[in-house]
Structure 1
Amino acid sequence: MMFDKEICCLLEHALGEKMDNLTVNIHDSNKKGAGYLGNLCFITLKNKQTNEETHLVLKQVMSSGGPKSLEFNSTVFHNEMLFYNNIWPFLLNFQHVTTGNVLNIIPRCYASCSKKGTEKLILENLSFQSFHVCDKTVPLDKAHLEYIFKTFGQFHAMSFACKALNPEKFDELTAPLKNIFDYFLNGTLFFKNSMNRCFKFIWDHLESNTPETLSSKLREYSEDGPNLYSRIMNYNGRNQVLLHGDCWSNNMMFKTDGHGKVVDMRLIDFQMIRKGTPVFDLSYCFYSSASKESLRELEFFLKIYHDSLSQCLKTYNCEAEMMYPFGVLKKEWKEYCKFGFMMGMICWEQKLRYEVGIRDLSKIIDGDKSEMQKPRLFDAEKYRNITRDVLDHMYCNDFL
């Protein structure tokens, strides 16, 4: 495979070497369904003089499609580039200057190209550092969820501290971000159709002994899901933080020791980044990943998150009980966890879909009816079991 001049320039910039001094090995590209909003290519560059190897991921905007999907793909890439080029470098420096530490939970970005229609990012390949993605068809175990909630406590603490100590800069950095969820809901029918289909499936498979109050609640989601989603997807309260935005398990990579214990993790794919309540990130992750056993331990995971947030805020000389008390977290969870619940119902169908059932998102955005009408093939029995557990949890805790 030969790279075009633009990619070669980016690679040379990333390594500070001319391509003539490097040997190039192309490993693979992302499988269908693994990179919905971009094309990935995995590269190893070897210095001919030193034999030093650098393992990279080339992430490119999808360049095929109609005007609507091309505009959308450019928008999500610019969101991600804003994060890697502007927001994250500032937050890292802010943390270093304020606390003397840096939070290493984001892959390194070596270079980027923002030219519309040809957007690209060069990122470090975490797979060569023993990081891996968990099996998306299996709920995450308690240890993984603990580590995730702890990490989000650290990640969100940077926002709370930055807002307290440099609010103008925080607003300046985050103002250009686009709310991709708003586009999904209002710019295309596929998201509404996906939501309606998921809740209709759940409704159609309710057990005969389902309590009438639960049945009535679910009917609202089945008949009016998009409007319910619209009312809770945005947040303008005082507890806004920078969100990862799209925190299902495929956007997290973990490192484990020889005994399978989680020792490190990275957050990847920041195309859906935006501002909002921490509950948006936490509930999205929880309801798209948690097992039946973990669902029963919500309070435990919220405590893990808040303890981590508190410890991290102390390094900035800030107090969590002044900025985001545990009681406020629980109150906002009850009000806004519906966002995560609804995303989880859509996400589990995606996670359990067979490869032959994966459809082309760009074609759907462009309104390709034949693509939209393709059958959605997924593990229906597993989906029924998982969503029933989540639904029971939501009902028993009065979250619906």
Structure 2
Amino acid sequence: MVSKLKLQDEDCNTKIEDGFKKSTGMLTLDLKQKIGETTFSVGFVLRSLAGKDDKWDNLMAHKKLSRAFPVILKVPTVIHLPTVNTLADDAFLEDFAVKLAERHDKEIYFYEHFAKRIKHVHLAKIFNSRTSYSTDGLENACILMSDLGVHGLMPNLVVGINKAQVEILIKTVAEIHAISLSIPNSAEVIEKLRFTSPLDQEDGQAKGAAVENLLKLPHDYFRRHQKALEKVAKENEIMLFDSHKHFGTPPVLCHGDFWSNNVFFEANEDGTISEELYAIFDWQFSHPNTGLIDIARLILCCVNASLKLRYLDDWLRLYFESFNLVRRMFRHQYPSEMLFSFMILLNHYARVEDEGLKTALLGRMVSSFEVIRRDFA
């Protein structure tokens, strides 16, 4: 659960959301007011911000608001899961809560041990955090962080990202991977991000459903290659989180969910999205791997067919100098990530009405499978 809190002036009338009362000129607060459906109060947020940010301290010193100060309260919870998954019984919820707690704790570990070393792209500023193991119950765990979204724009997944955006993302994440290797005892430190309870154990079912939906598409490409498609799905049901062991390479810190929904680009003067990367966020899936999981997910989920088929090898060269090793590593990661991208893209394909965009999404999926189809024929 993510609760966004924003203090904002509007024509001298202070607008205060999520427990902040509306007043004129002066700041009045109900400190006991709970934020959304969390156990955390407005008072908790104010205490957490005090002394952690000069801009906030200056605003509070004047006892009134002169501009917006947005923050995000991130709380791990399963309370809404039965709404979206009607098959979620008590056993499922208990198991999912354990996995959710681990991801929450891993994100805190990332910010505590890695974030300060990453200077070439913006990361959220952490004002307060509580791990699941340091509190009494999952509902009392949290991360209070700055809201990066007010300074950047998220790419449109359906439209896709352009060549320059792909390349700045590859260069940026490659540098993060390299920085992680410079940490003393890097393998030992990164290893602590390893998942002990894989969240993706149900991937086989989800990817199987994706295959079924691909075969129902109006274009007959996937039906013509149904056997190869079903074979790749059967042999790559579970996501690969330890490819570095397969190739005998040192693990690097991977984002783990590196695609357009977890990055912000700077805005142009006219309000359109630029080609300058601003921030990377949502680090709860960070883990040790080859690094190619980040590159594969980015390209397969976010890049349209024409760019992908033309520049794929160039982008791999951009990531690594040792092209042959990268290509073997990429092919190892590719099938699992391709099936994940199908789940994402099919969801958007079903909702998009514009035929041009539907064709582009279909082309993205077809071109992804065409790269490895003969390997499974």
Q: TM-score, normalised by structure 2?
A: 0.70
Query: Is the 8 Å Cα contact of residues 121 and 172 (structure 2) preserved in structure 1?
Result: no
Distance (whole Å) between structure 2 residues aligned to residue 113 and residue 217 of structure 1: 47
Quick one: distance in 2 between partners of 1:48 and 1:69? 46
Number of matched residues? 314
1:372 paired residue number: none
Q: Is the 8 A contact 2:193 2:287 kept in 1?
A: no
Distance change >3 Å, CA 209–CA 278, structure 1 → 2 = closer
- How far apart in 2 are the matches of 1:79 and 1:238? 24
The residue aligned with 1:55 is: 70
CA 1:348/1:207 → structure 2, altered by over 3 Å: closer, same or farther? closer
Distance change >3 Å, CA 158–CA 353, structure 1 → 2: farther
Q: Which residue of 2 aligns with 1:14?
A: 48
User: Does the CA-based 8 Å contact 1:285-1:340 persist in structure 2?
Assistant: no
Match of 1:29 in 2: none
Structure 2 unpaired stretches of 5+: 1-17, 20-32, 83-89
Residue 137 of structure 1: SS of its match in structure 2?
A: coil
Matched, 1:348 2:345: yes
Matched, 1:90 2:107: no
Task: Tell me the distance in 2 between the aligned counterparts of 1:389 and 1:10.
Answer: 50
The Cα of 1:288 is off from its aligned counterpart by 0.8
In the alignment, is residue 251 of structure 1 matched against residue 248 of structure 2? no
User: 1:12 deviation in Å?
Assistant: 2.7
Number of the residue aligned with 2:300: 287
- 2:127 aligned counterpart, secondary structure: strand
Q: Distance in 1 between matches of 2:221 and 2:235?
A: 28
Residue 299 of structure 1 pairs with residue 322 of structure 2? no
Is residue 113 of structure 1 aligned with residue 130 of structure 2? Answer: yes
Partner deviation per Cα, 1:308-342 (whole Å, 9 max, x = no partner): xxxxxxxxxxxxx6xxx343222211222222212
Relative to structure 1, is the Cα distance of residues 231 and 184 closer, same or farther in structure 2, using a 3 angstrom cutoff? closer
Does the CA contact (< 8 Å) of 1:10 and 1:111 recur in 2?
Answer: no
Paired AA for residue 205 in structure 2: N
| Distance verdict in 2 for CA 1:92–1:231, change over 3 Å | closer
Q: Which residue of 2 aligns with 1:387?
A: 365
* Alignment partner, residue 195 of structure 2: 178
Give distance in 2, aligned partners of 1:15 and 1:279. Answer: 37
The Cα shift of 1:256 comes to: 3.0
Q: In 1, distance between residues paired with 2:98 and 2:315?
A: 36
2:207 is matched with which residue? 195
Contact 1:338 1:399 in 2 (8 A): no
With the length of structure 1 as denominator, give the TM-score of the two structures.
0.67
Query: For 2:286 and 2:162, how far apart are their aligned partners in 1?
Result: 26
Give distance in 2, aligned partners of 1:284 and 1:67.
Answer: 31
1:108-131, Cα deviation, whole Å (9 max, x unpaired): 1211233332122111111222x1
Q: Per-residue CA shift, 1:53-108, capped at 9, x if unaligned?
A: 52101122225254532552453344244333x33333355x4xxxxx83333211
CA–CA separation in structure 1 for the residues paired with 2:313 and 2:358: 30
Secondary structure at 1:123 match in 2? strand
Structure 2 counterpart of 1:55, one-letter code: P
Equivalent residue runs for 1:215-364 within 5 Å: 215-221=226-232, 225-230=233-238, 232=240, 234-235=242-243, 236=245, 237-258=248-269, 260-296=273-309, 297-306=311-320, 325-354=322-351
Unaligned runs of 5+ in 1: 23-44, 96-100, 307-320, 356-378
- State how far apart, in whole Å, the 1-side matches of 2:223 and 2:351 are: 32
CA distance in 2, matches of 1:215, 1:340: 19
One-letter amino acid of the counterpart of residue 294, structure 1: L
The structure-2 alpha-carbon separation of the partners of 1:127 and 1:110, relative to structure 1 and needing over 3 Å to count, comes to same
CA RMSD of aligned residues (A): 3.5
1:46, CA displacement in angstroms?
6.1
Distance 1:75 1:134 in 2: 29
Rounded to whole Å, the distance in 1 between the matches of 2:253 and 2:367 is: 30
- CA shift, 1:173, in A, is 5.0
SS across alignment from 1:261: strand
Counterpart code for 1:90: H
Q: Counterpart amino acid of 2:264?
A: M
SS in structure 2 of the partner of residue 262 of structure 1:
strand
Give the stretch that moved more between structures: 116-125 or 2-11.
2-11
Q: RCO higher in 1 or 2 (8 Å CA, sep ≥ 6)?
A: 1
Note the C-alpha offset of 1:156. 0.8
Partner of 2:149 in structure 1? Answer: 127
**Contact in 2 for aligned 1:10/1:122 (Cα 8 Å):** no
Query: What amino acid is aligned across from residue 11 of structure 1 in structure 2?
Result: V
- Is the CA contact (8 Å cut-off) linking 1:105 and 1:266 kept in structure 2? yes
Match of 2:3 in 1: none
Task: Give, as a single letter, the amino acid of the residue that structure 1 aligns with 2:316.
Answer: L
Measured after TM superposition, the shift of residue 210 of structure 1 is 7.9
CA offsets per residue over residues 275-324 of structure 1, 9 Å max, x none? 11111111011111110122111022223333xxxxxxxxxxxxxx6xxx
Q: Deviations over 1:130-187 (max 9, x none)?
A: x12122222222222112111111111112323xxx22x541453254266x3322xx
Question: Is 1:68 aligned to residue 76 of structure 2?
Answer: no
What secondary structure sits across from 1:301 in the alignment?
A: helix
Give aligned-pair identity as a percent. 13
CA distance in 1, matches of 2:196, 2:345: 22
Superposed structure 1 runs of 4+ greater than 4 Å apart: 45-48, 204-212, 379-383
**AA aligned opposite 1:295:** K
